Amino acid sequence: MDSETGIPGRHILTVSELTSLIKSTLEDSFPDIWVEGEIFNFRVPSSGHIYFTLKDNTSQIKAVLFRSAGRALRFVPKDGLHILCRGRISIYEFRGEYQIIVDYMEPKGIGALLLAFEQLKERLSKEGLFDEARKRPIPVLPQKIGIVTSPTGAAIRDILKVIDRRFANVEIIIAPATVQGERAAPEIVEAIAELNHIEEMDVIIVARGGGGIEDLWPFNEEIVARAIYHSRVPVISAVGHEVDYTIADFVADLRAPTPSAAAEMVVKNKEDIQGYIGTLYSRLVYAKRTFLDKRRERLYALSRRVLSPEREINRHIQRLDEIENRLSNSIQRIVKDKKKTLQMVIARLDSLSPLSILARGYSITQKLPSLVVVKSSGDVRKGDKVDIRLHEGKIVCVVDEVS
């Protein structure tokens, strides 16, 4: 009997006790179940746990995927995605809500790996990792080739066999890496980094033989894609068979359908190269001969137009002689003309000279002692002395009469 109410057989539970009983009952009844539904209200807080609601047309249930289990996901969950999930039913005591704790999930109707592949491909493509403009050409004659692959797999044997047959003296550096399993992606990234630190590395081949999508999955990992993208050395992706495509194929500078094909792409056949060099040499010799023949003909044509130095000097000397002769004739003619002019001037001066006048019978009378020329009778008086200059000689006279 209840001591407080007096009612027999009544047992009162606290909320926590009741919740604990329900929790035990549910967890014992549904320890491992598969549930199908559509994701909505998807969120990931800073803790890294994934919270969402799983629903169908008429009902819904809360769900949580803890961070530790979420690391194994191969795809990114999002609202509207129809999934299959495996887990157990539990009660979240603080709100009294039942929920499914998810341990594993996969998309319904499409494999998780395929969905993850498409999601990562779309995201990296938007970032520009696949742009053709950023891809570098593969060297025509690489001297040092790095290979990232398993050292015991068929891929390395195929590559080495092809290179040895086509161009045996190429330097090969193998950076061993696991190419399958959880350790593969980090080891591939590390191997690419190691080869990038080797000087004069010309090209890197990332290779693996065929397999299913799970076998090839390390080459679909984001860290591998970004390692190829950031490589300073051009990268050839040679993963799987011709029908297989990986994220590495899209981001690499060149995709090869098989490892053997990669070796054929990167290393030219030595005999073909020698033949090509021979052809280039023949073309060079022909071009050289043609060039020299044309220049020789041109030089001969010019030489016929150019006079010898001696002939050219003689031609100029003859020209100087001709100029000298013309100059002498011109000087003589000028001198003759000047002499004639001078004679005419002398004759005119002579005709005007007082001496010429005196020769015709005239005289000049000068009063002494002043020697002033007497121009009229009024210039002298009786008794003055005058000097009379004749054509030849002179006479001194005394004026006896002035009229």
For residues 83 and 191, membership in a common domain is answered with: no
For residues 154 and 248, membership in a common domain is answered with: yes
Tokens linked to 1: 């009997």
Question: Which single residue is written with the structure tokens 């890294």?
Answer: 48
- Give the CA angle between residues 295, 296, 297 to the nearest 5°: 90
pTM score, two decimals?
0.54
For residues 167 and 216, membership in a common domain is answered with: yes
Q: Which of 122-136, 167-181, 188-202, 226-240 has the lowest mean pLDDT?
A: 167-181
Asked if residue 310 is part of any domain, the answer here is: no
Q: Which pLDDT tens digit goes with each residue over 79-106?
A: 888 888 899 888 887 887 888 999 988 7
For residues 252 and 189, membership in a common domain is answered with: yes
pLDDT score recorded for residue 69 = 85
Residue where a domain terminates, one of 223, 246, 268? 268
- Whether the CB-CB separation of 77 and 50 falls below 8 Å is answered with yes
Helix (H) or strand (E) holding 387: strand 385-389
Q: Which pLDDT tens digit goes with each residue over 184-205?
A: 999 999 999 999 999 999 999 9
pLDDT score recorded for residue 207 = 93
In this prediction, residue 178 has a pLDDT band, given cuts at 50, 70 and 90, of very high
Helix (H) or strand (E) holding 36: strand 33-43
For residues 148 and 98, membership in a common domain is answered with: no
For residues 66 and 155, membership in a common domain is answered with: no
Asked if residue 352 is part of any domain, the answer here is: no
Tokens linked to 89: 């039913």
For residues 89 and 154, membership in a common domain is answered with: no
- Domain CATH code at residue 236: 3.40.50.10550
pLDDT score recorded for residue 106 = 79
Asked if residue 307 is part of any domain, the answer here is: no
Residue 2 has pLDDT above 70, yes or no: no
Q: What is the residue-averaged pLDDT of the chain?
A: 84
Expressed as residue numbers, the domain containing 100 is 15-109
Asked if residue 131 is part of any domain, the answer here is: no
Question: Which single residue is written with the structure tokens 């998780």?
Answer: 112
Residue where a domain terminates, one of 238, 268, 298? 268
Q: Which pLDDT tens digit goes with each residue over 242-288?
A: 888 899 999 999 999 999 999 988 887 566 666 667 778 878 888 88
pLDDT score recorded for residue 153 = 87
Q: Which pLDDT tens digit goes with each residue over 156-177?
A: 999 999 888 887 778 999 999 9
Greater model confidence, 12 or 239: 239
Angstrom distance (rounded) from CA 62 to CA 78: 15
Question: Which single residue is written with the structure tokens 């009844």?
Answer: 29
Asked if residue 58 is part of any domain, the answer here is: yes
Residue where a domain terminates, one of 268, 301, 318? 268
Asked if residue 217 is part of any domain, the answer here is: yes
For residues 146 and 250, membership in a common domain is answered with: yes
- Domain CATH code at residue 90: 2.40.50.140
Q: Which of 169, 145, 138, 180 is nearest to 159 (CA)?
A: 145
pLDDT score recorded for residue 295 = 84
Asked if residue 167 is part of any domain, the answer here is: yes
Q: Which pLDDT tens digit goes with each residue over 302-345?
A: 777 766 677 777 777 888 878 888 888 888 888 888 888 888 88
Q: Which of 281, 269, 283, 307 is nearest to 166 (CA)?
A: 269
Please tell me the total count of domains within the chain. Answer: 3
Asked if residue 134 is part of any domain, the answer here is: no
For residues 179 and 253, membership in a common domain is answered with: yes
For residues 149 and 223, membership in a common domain is answered with: yes
Residue 1 has pLDDT above 70, yes or no: no
Helices 154-166 & 259-266 angle (0-180, nearest 10):
30
Greater model confidence, 286 or 27: 286
For residues 19 and 105, membership in a common domain is answered with: yes
For residues 100 and 163, membership in a common domain is answered with: no
